[in-house]
């Protein structure tokens, strides 16, 4: 079939904007469904691998985005716990008979703070190594589209 005839067939077939719009919507919906299925499959494989207790470095090589997301969440929580805000805190009016303010942090909170400070470089190094590591030679398994 020559190019002119092919173009005429394509023009005749897809001239109706409603048809083109419906086909595009169907295609985009199919792509979204396939993406959801792939993400669900990757998460279920990651959960299964985590349950099996794999080596963290191998797990990070196989699922780098899950590892980076976990490190990001852990770092965010650690920062929220340990770093104080520079914004002025609202002062609530205290009646004259209010008890004295609580004492400074105790032994355990100081210990946790120091532990987080010690772990922070390790997490940073692991995160940098995850970004710098070459892509693995293993191909991800092909999953048939569902739907």
pLDDT in tens, 68-90: 888 889 988 888 888 777 777 67
CA–CA distance, 27 with 35 (Å, rounded to integer): 12
Q: Does 129 lie in the same domain as 59?
A: yes
Where is the domain boundary, 53, 72, 92?
53
**Taking a C-beta distance cutoff of 8 angstroms, is the pair 80, 45 a contact?**
no
Q: Does 129 lie in the same domain as 64?
A: yes
Task: Provide the percentage of residues in the chain whose pLDDT is more than 90.
Answer: 7
CA–CA distance, 61 with 50 (Å, rounded to integer): 13
Compare 5 and 124 and report the one with higher pLDDT. Answer: 124
Q: Among 10-14, 72-76, 111-115, 142-146, whose mean pLDDT is lowest? A: 10-14
Q: Which helix H or strand E contains 24, and what residues bound it?
A: helix 17-52
Q: Which helix H or strand E contains 33, and what residues bound it?
A: helix 17-52
Domain assignment present for 128: yes
Structure tokens, 11: 């023009």
CA–CA distance, 23 with 137 (Å, rounded to integer): 37
Q: Does 126 lie in the same domain as 110?
A: yes
pTM over 0.75: no
For the chain, the C-alpha Rg in angstroms (whole number) is: 27
Q: Does 77 lie in the same domain as 27?
A: no
Domain assignment present for 93: no
Domain assignment present for 91: no
According to DSSP, residue 137 is labeled: S
Q: How many domains does the chain have?
A: 2
Range of the domain at 73: 55-84+105-135
Location of structure tokens 């191909």? 139
User: SS3 helix, strand, coil % of the chain, rounded to 5?
Assistant: 65, 0, 35
Spell out the residues 6+ positions from residue 59 whose beta carbon is closer than 8 angstroms to its own.
46, 49, 50, 67
């Amino acid at each position: 079939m020559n190019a002119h005839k092919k173009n005429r067939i394509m023009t005749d077939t897809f001239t109706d904007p409603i048809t083109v719009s419906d086909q595009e919507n169907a295609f985009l919906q199919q792509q979204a469904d396939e993406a959801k299925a792939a993400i669900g499959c990757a998460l279920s494989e990651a959960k299964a691998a985590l349950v099996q207790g794999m080596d963290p470095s191998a797990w990070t090589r196989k699922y780098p985005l899950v590892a980076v997301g976990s490190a990001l969440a852990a770092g965010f929580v650690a920062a929220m716990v340990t770093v104080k805000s520079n914004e002025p805190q609202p002062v609530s009016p205290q009646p004259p008979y209010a008890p004295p303010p609580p004492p400074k942090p105790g032994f355990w909170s100081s210990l946790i703070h120091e532990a987080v400070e010690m772990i922070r470089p390790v997490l940073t190094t692991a995160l940098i190594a995850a970004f710098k590591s070459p892509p693995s030679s293993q191909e991800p398994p092909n999953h048939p589209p569902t739907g």
